[in-house]
Amino acid sequence: MKSIKIFILLLFVGTLSTEIYAQDTDAFFRTADAFFKANVKNGRVDYAKVKVNPETLHKLLENASKIKVSTSDAKTYQAFWINTYNLAVIKGIIEKYPVKQPLSIKGFFDKNKYDVGGTSITLNDIENKMLRAKFPNEPRFHFALVCAGLGCPPIIDEAYTPSKLESQLQRQTEIAVNNPNFIKVKGNKVQLSQIFEWYKEDFVRNGNEIDFLNKYRKEPIPANAKLSYYPYDWTLNDVK
């Protein structure tokens, strides 16, 4: 009888924990969505506006510090860390704003840490350890994680959410690889963003870079095209 009571108690605690977790993540996604809608326009961030009123951003990251997500719920896990990365980037910028580019801030990607997801972590760690290492067959992360530079694909004015994540990643990848300023095609010569150079292994797991691009391009790139990489534009993606 005692063992049955213990089992019921553990079951109740487990159910309650799941409900609290769901409430926490749902609230995080809703608030993040409102934040991005209010402060992102045409793929750029209104850093001056956020700096004047940073309360929502600070609250979001404070809440994110208490949320722990599991890869067993892959969509929630991925959406949480993508949003957290983009929010942490904005926080890192406004702390030193005005700046011309993220690289103007010492240790921006590899030294400065944020307390999120139950750990203290850098931007590079979020990208490489929490996302790329856990999901090596998902190169579309590179079109959702926005580093505050104009060379990155544009940040979207909404939060990534579990229910919409697949369509959001698909859409952002298609936008990027069909953008003539991102993938520069001139005859048989194609210039790619340095994202494809830095993370080449992510794009060639099932073929080569051209194979990857042609999965999403409206106008396929010839298989014998000559590829090169153009310099990355680190200019701040400010609305100004």
- Look at residue 8 in the predicted model and tell me its pLDDT: 46
| Alpha carbons 81 and 104: distance in angstroms, whole number | 24
How confident is the model at residue 240, as a pLDDT?
Answer: 83
Question: Is the CB of residue 28 less than 8 Å from the CB of residue 63?
Answer: yes
State pLDDT tens for residues 125-140: 999 999 999 999 999 9
pLDDT digits (tens, 9 = 90+) for 62-84: 999 999 999 999 999 999 999 99
Four-point Cα dihedral 185, 186, 189, 195, nearest 10: -30
Nearest to 38 by CA among 143, 188, 157, 131: 157
For 66, phi then psi, to 5°, come to -100, -10
pLDDT of residue 178: 98
Torsion of CA 201, 204, 209, 214, to 10 degrees: -140
Q: Is the peptide bond before 98 cis (omega within 30 degrees of 0)?
A: yes
Whether the full predicted model's pTM is greater than 0.85, yes or no, is yes
d(C-alpha 135, C-alpha 148), whole Å: 23
Q: For the chain, which residues score pLDDT lower than 50? A: 7-21
Report the pLDDT value the prediction gives residue 107, as an integer from 0 to 100. Answer: 98
